[in-house]
């Protein structure tokens, strides 16, 4: 199997949780060559509430001309055309998305704008840059689209999502991601745009914005605040450590079949209530507190509308065809994640207060 060798990768949403970890994975903690990638990364991020340049500040300082940050919106067609032209981009990794289900319920328009129209703008920019008037596609190009298992809807007590599971989105968030998936596939079938697509389960790890379940619970336990759990707490999610996810994305980008999709999962199903109780025990141990007292912080709250009961991914295709497998078990990953948040409270405080935006204004307003 001949592996793809990207030269210049445009990473959208590269200052967010998964995107920043992906860039760190490619460039290494010191900005040096990692995992066979010797090219450049262009990070395009609008720096909305969850995009934090502090996530890559050390990379920006150490990677030299192998890394460029561009403060901009993926819906800006003129900016995209300029970037594709001046940077000779041959690969797109599209992470940028509004992704919080609760926010999508209360404000769905932003999800349609970013997840649907933003993906459309990127696809158009790639099509214009990579496919000539005769329909000839430039050699060595790829548009990789990062999606979610939530597009498949909700599972019962048994069964798994596969690459051929029919789409059945239940929230404005998952509907907007399903729409973007369909657009990506349509551009492949209609125009011949080389694409790969991945649908992943719930990610966790360092740099995740503290509105998602695991960081919320870690920080609330630390601060002695209530731990809100929706409904009866029996909703089940499949948890995947972010570095394992990004290794899978890179594996698909290098060797996945053009036009195909691959599921990325953790083979790691947990009820929400059991996960929260486990986090209570780990954080209590790290802070030398009584686990029984931390569990008393658990508070059951009214379930959210359209709350899917269970997600579970069958990632056997990725394992069997491309040789990927998870390397971080959940006990190890949770412990690493808890330690990271407790040791990076300056980062947490900056995110909570928006203080990091002063650095954005100082460093990037003129770029």
Report the C-alpha gap between 243 and 327 in whole angstroms: 9
54 is catalytic: no
Contact criterion met (CB below 8 Å) for 221 and 284:
yes
| Signed CA dihedral, 252, 330, 178, 107: sign only | negative
Q: Shortest CA distance to 334 belongs to which of 290, 268, 289?
A: 268
Catalytic residue among 67, 160, 173, 262: 173
Report the C-alpha gap between 73 and 80 in whole angstroms: 9
Contact criterion met (CB below 8 Å) for 95 and 19:
yes
Give the Cβ contact number of residue 138 at 10 Å.
12
Per residue, the 3-state secondary structure of the chain, as one string, reads CCCCCCCEEEEECCCCHHHHHHHHHHHCCCCCCECCECCEEEEEECCCCCCCHHHHHHHHHHCHHHEEEEECCCCCHHHHHHHHHHHCCCEEEECCCCCCHHHHHHCCHHHHHHHHHHHHHHHHHHHHHHECCCCCECCCCEEEEEEEHHHHCCCCCCCCECCCCCCCCCCHHHHHHHHHHHHHHHHHHHHCCCEEEEEECEEECCCCCCCCHHHHHHHHHHHCCCEEEECCCCCEEEEEEHHHHHHHHHHHHHHCCCCCEEEECCCCEEEHHHHHHHHHHHHHHHCCCCHHHHHCCEEEECCCCCCCCECCECCHHHHHHHCCCCCCCHHHHHHHHHHHHHHCHHHHHHHHHCCCHHHHHHHHCCC
Catalytic residue among 45, 73, 98, 150: 150
150 is catalytic: yes
The Cβ-side half-sphere exposure at 336, using a 13 Å CA radius, reads 13
Block residue for tokens 């689209």: 145
**Alpha carbon 256 to its chain's center:** 19
Catalytic residue among 90, 149, 238, 267: 149
Contact criterion met (CB below 8 Å) for 270 and 236:
yes
Q: Shortest CA distance to 144 belongs to which of 228, 258, 264, 57?
A: 258
Task: Report mean pLDDT in 10-residue bins for the chain, 367 residues.
Answer: 90 96 86 71 92 90 94 97 97 90 85 95 98 96 97 92 96 94 98 98 95 94 96 95 97 98 97 98 97 96 86 96 97 97 94 68 51
What pLDDT does residue 34 have? 56
149 is catalytic: yes
Block residue for tokens 């990610």: 203
Nearest-5° Cα angle at 117, 116 to 123: 90
What pLDDT does residue 355 have? 64
Report the C-alpha gap between 143 and 137 in whole angstroms: 12
Block residue for tokens 């809807």: 153
Tell which CATH architecture fits domain 8-208+241-267+308-329.
3-Layer(aba) Sandwich (3.40)
Report the C-alpha gap between 355 and 365 in whole angstroms: 16
- pTM here? 0.94
| Signed CA dihedral, 260, 266, 268, 270: sign only | negative
């Amino acid at each position: 199997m001949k592996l793809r060798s990207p030269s210049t990768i445009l990473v959208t949403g590269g200052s967010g949780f998964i995107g920043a970890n992906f860039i760190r994975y490619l460039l290494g903690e010191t900005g040096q060559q990692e995992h066979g990638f010797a090219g450049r990364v262009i990070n395009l991020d609008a720096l909305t509430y969850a995009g934090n340049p502090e996530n890559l500040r050390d990379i920006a300082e150490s990677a030299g001309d192998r890394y460029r940050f561009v403060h901009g919106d993926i819906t800006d067609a003129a900016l995209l055309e300029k970037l594709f032209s001046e940077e000779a981009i041959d690969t797109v990794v599209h992470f940028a998305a509004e992704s919080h289900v609760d926010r999508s319920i209360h404000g769905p328009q932003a999800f349609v704008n970013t997840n649907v129209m933003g993906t459309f703008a990127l696809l158009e920019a790639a099509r214009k840059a990579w496919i000539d008037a005769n329909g000839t596609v430039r050699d060595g190009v790829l548009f990789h689209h990062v999606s979610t298992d939530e597009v498949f809807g909700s599972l019962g007590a048994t069964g798994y999502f596969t690459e051929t599971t029919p789409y059945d989105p239940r929230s404005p968030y998952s509907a907007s991601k399903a729409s973007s998936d369909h657009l990506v596939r349509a551009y492949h079938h209609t125009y011949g745009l080389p694409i790969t697509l991945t649908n992943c389960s719930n990610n966790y790890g360092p740099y995740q914005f503290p509105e998602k379940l695991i960081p919320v619970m870690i920080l609330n336990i630390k601060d002695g605040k209530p731990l809100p759990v929706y409904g009866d707490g029996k909703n089940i999610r499949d948890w995947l450590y972010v570095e394992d996810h990004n290794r899978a994305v890179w594996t698909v980008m290098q060797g996945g079949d053009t036009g195909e999709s691959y599921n990325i999962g953790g083979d790691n199903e947990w009820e929400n209530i059991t996960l929260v109780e486990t986090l209570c025990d780990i954080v209590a141990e790290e802070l030398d507190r009584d686990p029984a007292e931390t569990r008393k912080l658990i508070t059951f709250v009214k379930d959210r509308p359209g709350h899917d009961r269970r997600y579970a991914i069958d990632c056997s295709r990725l394992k069997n065809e491309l040789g990927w497998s998870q390397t971080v078990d959940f006990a190890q990953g949770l412990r690493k994640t808890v330690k990271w948040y407790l040791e990076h409270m300056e980062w947490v405080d900056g995110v909570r207060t928006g203080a990091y935006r002063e650095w954005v204004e100082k460093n990037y307003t003129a770029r």
